[in-house]
Amino acid sequence: MPRRSPSNRRWLAPLGLIVIGLLSAAAATTPDGLEWALERLGYTPSAEDPYRAPVPDYTWPASLPATLQGMLSVAGGGLLVWGLLKLMTLGRRPPGGA
């Protein structure tokens, strides 16, 4: 099986970000299943959250549309994870490499 060069896969990351961004736009308008079921049953949590999230409910305190706020949160989280992975693999040699 021929090995793919990194240049052949260079378009995968931007394409993946675009697809994830579009999917997050669709998901931003509907709550997740558990939240939806609890709202339908009339349950409202009485306790305060034990911690404060940096971006609660994927919304920013700005006048941006909710869909755009969700897309920015997903993109920011993806970039954060990518950066952490790059830091973790810094200085590692590729398998079988010299």
**pLDDT (tens digit per residue) in 14-72:** 888 888 877 777 665 665 677 777 788 888 777 776 777 776 766 666 777 877 877 78
What confidence score (pLDDT) does residue 43 get?
Answer: 82
In this predicted structure, the answer to whether residue 93 has a pLDDT above a threshold of 80 is: no
What confidence score (pLDDT) does residue 84 get?
Answer: 93
Instruction: Give the pTM.
Output: 0.44
Most confident of 4-13, 24-33, 88-97: 88-97
CA–CA–CA angle 11, 64, 68 (5° rounding): 25
Please give the Cα distance from 11 to 6 (Å, whole number).
Answer: 10
In this predicted structure, the answer to whether residue 1 has a pLDDT above a threshold of 60 is: no
CB 65 within 8 A of CB 26: no
